Amino acid sequence: MNVCVIGLGYIGLPTAAMLASNGHKVHGVDTNEKMIEAIRTTGALSEEPGLADLVQRVLNDGALTISQEPAHADCFIICLPTPVLDDKSPDLSFVKSGVESMLPFLKNCDMLVLESTVPPGTTAGLVADMVRGKGFDPLGDVDLVFAPERVIPGNILKELETLDRVMGGLTAKAAERAKNLYSTFVKGEILLTDATTAEFVKLVENSYRDVNIAFANELAVLSEQFGINVWEAVKIANRHPRVNIHNPGPGVGGHCIAVDPYFIIDTAGDKARLLSMAREVNSSMPEHVVMLAEQMLGGLEGKNIAVLGIAYKGNVGDPRESPALDIITALENRSARWKAYDPHVKESPITLSSFEDALEDADLVIVATDHNVFRDMEPEAVGNLVKKKQILDTRNLLDRKKWAAAGWKVKLIGSS
Ligand code: SAJ
């Protein structure tokens, strides 16, 4: 098939490359000129394993072309971001302009697939209306489908192949047609449904995780009160065959789990009570971390804090919605001085320091992200850099005995 993928971000680029390496002729589009240039020269902007190599291969053999302009195709796939605005309502402007940009290239019998996470009803409403506005019948002339991505950053290429997918069509024929296309690289099962159910399913998956993590975070706070270790308690509880509690931590970041529940909350209002509460609990965790830091130091004013990790999770370079950034804001609000180090983050919204510089003269080290490099740190070597050997582990990353043996005072979130 001739496929045009609109948006070459963390989903669009791997999807385009997978299609291109599986027999399709793919044209990738991104309005960001720098991004196009960077993909041309390096294959990919992110550190996603295997992606740069795959992209370079399909670019070199001509199966993938990229530019800032859409082109005629049999199938258009929209992979554009849908962030939330300051008031936490969904921002569909990127999706709208992406659809607008491809509409002049749409013809009868084409397929239009939306992969971006959207509020329930968007494909059958907004997108179908835009297609109708161009004179096409979205239930007959063209095939409209919502096909959410499910892949986890850090393991995208593998999960694109192996995970089951859901394809929601405006018609059964549309869903079936999308299945035919995606099954050229998806080895998992492809489940067919209607577009609004598929939209809901996507939001529910990430909301499930948000609620589960909020539960774990509440247990962490309770464990501190009860003088026990939440990590031990959760590990034992999870030995029950029907219990699967996630990990507590400094809060939930990233552009998916910390955002998607709002797509339901915004539409459902006060009916989404549990989802709202989960967001509240998870968003309160950075403050909780700073409160623990305050307790350790007996006050934060003028203290030097080294923050290790600003990415939203371990071994990725993405700092969006990261709880580490909220921890830093909360430290600033208490007049603490901070320096931050993250070896994975290339584009940072805050000033980053080198490892040595961040730790120099620190009164307290906060491990905010579970990068492997932090797990492997040697307590003696780090101890030579800091002013006070005090460390707050928000990820249960450190070997506490080892650090304590090297003279460190170690505090683990969710423990006495
Ligand atoms: N986190 C915890 N405790 C946990 C697991 C995660 O505090 O037990 C935190 C992480 O540190 C991070 C945040 O939650 O800050 C989100 O990380 P994540 O690894 O759970 O998820 P994402 O945002 O990287 O990717 C999610 C995935 N969704 C699910 O697992 C249901 C992925 O499959 C989706 O494709 C992706 O969102 C998306 O694009 O929607």
- Encode pLDDT of 183-202 as tens digits: 999 999 999 999 999 999 99
**In Å, how far from its chain's centre is CA 78?**
18
> Closest ligand 1 atom to the C-alpha of 206?
31
pLDDT (0 to 100) of residue 159: 97
User: 47 pLDDT band (50/70/90 cuts)?
Assistant: confident
Q: What value does the mean pLDDT take over residues 343-357?
A: 97
At 238-247, the pLDDT tens digits run 999 999 999 9
Nearest to residue 123, comparing CAs of 104, 102, 148?
A: 148
pLDDT bin (cut points 50, 70, 90) of residue 132 is very high
> Is the Cβ–Cβ distance between 84 and 13 less than 8 Å?
no
Residue nearest to atom 4 of ligand 1 (CA): 247
**Alpha-carbon distances, residue 84 vs 184, 263, 270, 320 (angstroms):** 33, 8, 18, 12
Determine whether the shortest distance from the Cβ of 395 to ligand 1 is under 6 A.
no
What share of the chain has pLDDT > 90, as a percent? 97
What is the distance in A from the centroid of ligand 1 to the CA of 65?
31
How far, in Å, CA of 293 to CA of 366, rounded? 8
Question: Which pLDDT score is estimated for 269?
Answer: 82
148 lines ligand 1 (CB under 6 A): no
Residue showing tokens 């948000």: 210
- Residue 369 CA to residue 329 CA, distance in Å, equals 16
Average pLDDT across the chain, whole number: 97
Residue 7 has pLDDT above 90, yes or no: yes
Q: Compute the distance from residue 257 Cα to the ligand 1 centre, in Å.
A: 6
pLDDT category of residue 46 using cuts at 50, 70 and 90:
confident
CA of residue 153 to ligand 1 center, whole Å = 9
Mutational test site, ligand 1, from 115, 118, 252, 284, max ligand atoms within 8 Å of CB: 252
pLDDT at 137 over 80: yes
CA-CA distance, 275 to 368, in Å (whole number)? 24
145 pLDDT higher than 80: yes
Would you state the pLDDT for residue 104?
98
Token reading at 42: 């390096």
pLDDT the model gives residue 123: 98
For residue 260, the ligand 1 atom closest to its alpha carbon is 40
Active site residue 256: yes
Beta strands in 171-296, from DSSP E residues, in sequence order: 190-194
Q: What is the band of 45 on the pLDDT scale with cuts at 50, 70, 90? A: confident
* The pLDDT of residue 48 is above 80: yes
Taking the CA of residue 249 as reference, the ligand 1 atom at the shortest distance is 7
Beta strands in 344-404 (DSSP E): 364-367, 390-393
DSSP letter string, 290-333: HHHHHHHHT--TT-EEEEE--SSSTT----TT-HHHHHHHHHHH
The reply to whether 109 belongs to the active site is no
Segment 51-72, tens digit of pLDDT: 999 999 999 999 999 999 999 9
Whether the per-residue pLDDT at 33 is higher than 90: the answer is: yes
| pLDDT number for residue 114 | 98
Is the pLDDT reported for residue 109 higher than 80? yes
Q: Averaged over 370-394, what is the pLDDT?
A: 98
Find, among 373, 376, 329, the residue nearest to 349 by Cα.
329
Instruction: Return the biggest CA–CA distance within the chain.
Output: 73
Q: Which of 39-48, 238-247, 303-312 has the lowest mean pLDDT?
A: 39-48
Cβ of 246 closer than 6 Å to ligand 1, yes or no, is yes
pLDDT for 44 equals 84
pLDDT tens, position by position, 154-190: 899 999 999 999 999 999 999 999 999 999 999 999 9
